[in-house]
Chains A and B, each alone.
Chain A
């Protein structure tokens, strides 16, 4: 029998406000333990929370960017549970009246099919503290993160493959970055993902028993964990076994999901309306004001890049998939005339180095004007295209100016005819086989000889000149 997976995702994103959701403590990441806390976020008796206006604005902004309806009337609720990372023994969240609902994210699968993934809701809530378990005789709690504002984005169970889940997350992250509501840094925990997955026979309309997956530290981990989990569930069904609803943890090292001890009486949170906070009313005027503050979204930017800069649609979609990358491209285009050349460098060398080093674009020290200088060095014949790649890599690693790198390493293009002619003569002498091939009409052999000249000059020979001199010498 053929099976299909049903996947839903819950994403928590920390909002980029300066202060916490209900008090004026800073939200800055890091900091010595328990130095960003006050009686309000610790929930000491007698304190009262007051909602940060920016939290509502950012959440509405995210909602608008994700095609949601914005609730005119919403309220906060108390979610009750005991856990030491939650000093009040309840989390202030939203239950039945979330700020945003019924949105969608559009993805495009590798075979070019467009699909809308529904968003059930987006609500605002407070983050919990951080527990550290290194000690043998107890756990330590740092409450700096307690009360940092979060939006929880709940998708419909609309995804059918791990690839779709990956694409959904990538798109969602890009929209949140574009709207400037969250920096989405998974390594700092400002974006966190949980997923629910079940399998069913293809064609069935009923849902199978769902499994919740946790400890997913990257989008690739989400994809791999889902791939593993779907196979596991299908195997259980085919062996006639029953799937038990539970939470499983992804073990990145072993590449498997493992059962977590299920919490007793879990999910009995006894939500009730938060008496310490009053309802939130988002008027049409306020909503429109927030809509106006929305920057250009990836789809629009992509279309504009194609029409304004004349770069291919594929390149534009890759470059605009990350806002920092799109910004880098556009700043470079201001400094250098051929946007197509810049796009080629980004699609080629930049993407390769980002992948090899695992760096994010905002960690790359290259300034747009330095990129322009590098391209000018090629245009005015100071360096060859292949040397430029070496220089680019050095710039990527160190942030140095291209001129300085060329100077320090002696990378200037060799355009001295006498010097190059000497090398050409030597190359011809050392490669009689290729010379013969060339004389027998094999054009390709010339390319090999040019390559040998490049090798002899460590890539510095002016390729046109090398080509011309070789032809001259060969026709003698």
Chain B
């Protein structure tokens, strides 16, 4: 398994990242090495091993359904880059 430059461009686009040609070259190479390293695991026979859903072997951690106060709107909006009418304001979304 190896990583192509096109795959890096695709993933970068999904993550809203922009790379220069040099960076693309560098990350393709680095990611390729990482994948190859992890690929080593494929040499193991895992036929009788359950897939891991979580690295900590616990389950059923729940909260009771009881309402607690929410946070003050002023505080919530304090870090917003732009706000209006009690809302977060974002660049215009065209559907």
Q: Which residues of A contact B (CB under 8 A)?
A: 17-19, 24-26, 32-39, 42, 50-54, 56, 73, 75, 80, 82-84, 97, 131-133, 135-143, 260-261, 265, 268, 270, 273, 275, 277-281
The DSSP consensus for interface residues of chain A is: loop
- A52 neighbours in B (Cβ, 8 Å): 62-65
Please encode chain B, from 14 to 33, with 1 for each CB lying within 8 Å of some chain A CB and 0 for all others.
10100000000000000000
Query: Given known contacts A33-B87, A37-B70, A50-B63, is B76 in contact with A139 (CB within 8 Å)?
Result: no
Q: Which residue of A lies closest to B68 (CB)?
A: A24
CA of A138 to CA of B81, assembled, Å? 12
- Inter-chain CA distance A138–B90, complex, in Å, is 6
A133-B92, A138-B90, A140-B88 known; A24 vs B59 contact (CB < 8 Å): no
Name the distance in Å between B47's Cβ and chain A's nearest Cβ. 19
In the bound complex, what is the Cα–Cα distance between A270 and B7 (angstroms)?
13
- Asked whether any CB of chain A lies closer than 8 Å to the CB of B36, the reply is no
Residues of B within 8 A of A265 (CB): 10, 13-14
Contacts of A133 in B (CB 8 A): 92-93, 95
What's the minimum C-beta distance from B67 to chain A, rounded to whole angstroms?
5
Query: With contacts A24-B67, A37-B76, A280-B59 known, is A139 near B14, CB below 8 A?
Result: no
Residue B56 at the A interface, CB < 8 A?
A: yes
- Please report whether the interface of chain B is mostly helix, strand, loop or mixed according to DSSP: loop
What range describes how many residues of B lie at the interface?
A: 35 or more
Which residue of B is nearest A53, CB measured? B62
Question: Could you tell me the distance between the alpha carbons of A270 and B14 in the complex, rounded to whole angstroms?
Answer: 10
- For the complex, what is the distance from the CA of A32 to the CA of B41, rounded to whole Å? 52
A265 → chain B closest CB, angstroms: 6
Nearest to B64 among chain A residues (CB) is A53
Give the Cβ gap from A136 to chain B, nearest Cβ, in Å: 8
Query: Quick check: A279 and B10 within 8 Å, CB to CB?
Result: no
Complexed CA–CA distance, A143 and B73 (Å): 11
Tell yes or no: B38 within 8 A of A by CB: no
Task: State whether A42 touches B87 (Cβ < 8 A).
Answer: no
Task: Answer yes or no: B34 CB below 8 A from chain A CBs.
Answer: no
Interchain nearest-CB distance for B14 vs A (Å): 6
**Is the CB–CB distance between A33 and B85 below 8 Å?**
yes
Check if B91 sits within 8 Å of A19, measured CB to CB. no
Enumerate chain A residues within 8 angstroms of B54, measured Cβ to Cβ.
75, 273, 275, 277-279
Inter-subunit contact B90/A84 (CB<8 Å): yes
Please name the residue on chain B nearest to A276 by beta carbon: B54
Per the bound structure, the CA–CA distance linking A135 and B83 in Å amounts to 12
**Contact status of A279 and B59, CB under 8 A, knowing A37-B76, A75-B53, A265-B13:** yes
**20 residue pairs A–B, Cβ–Cβ below 8 Å:** A18-B65, A18-B67, A25-B70, A26-B70, A33-B85, A37-B71, A37-B76, A51-B63, A53-B64, A80-B14, A82-B16, A132-B87, A133-B93, A138-B92, A139-B90, A140-B89, A142-B87, A143-B88, A273-B54, A278-B61
Residue of A nearest to B52 (CB): A273
CB of B35 closer than 8 Å to a CB of A: no
A135 to B93, CA, bound (A): 10
Given contacts A138-B89, A268-B14, A279-B53, contact A32 B73 (CB under 8 A): yes
- Chain A residues positioned under 8 Å from B95 (CB to CB): 133, 260-261
| Complex Cα gap A142–B86 (Å) | 8
Contact indicator B90/A53 (Cβ below 8 Å):
no
Which A residues are CB-close (under 8 A) to B66? 18-19, 24
With CB as the reference atom, state the residue of chain B lying closest to A56: B62
| Min CB gap A64→B, angstroms | 19
A51 to B65, CA, bound (A): 10
Alpha-carbon gap, A39 to B79, bound state (A):
12
**A139 in contact with B89 given A52-B63, A281-B60 (CB within 8 Å):** yes
Q: When A52-B65, A97-B53 are in contact, do A137 and B92 touch as well, CB less than 8 Å?
A: yes
Contact yes or no, A141 B87, CB < 8 A: yes
A180 to chain B, nearest CB (A): 14
Is the CB of B58 closer than 8 A to any CB of chain A?
A: yes
Do residues B86 and A33 form an inter-chain contact, with CB atoms below 8 A? yes
Evaluate contact between B92 and A139: CB separation under 8 angstroms: yes
Between B52, B63, B89, the greatest number of chain A beta carbons within 10 A of the residue's beta carbon is seen for: B63
Complex: how many Å from CA A390 to CA B14?
63
Residues of A within 8 A of B14 (CB): 80, 265, 268, 270
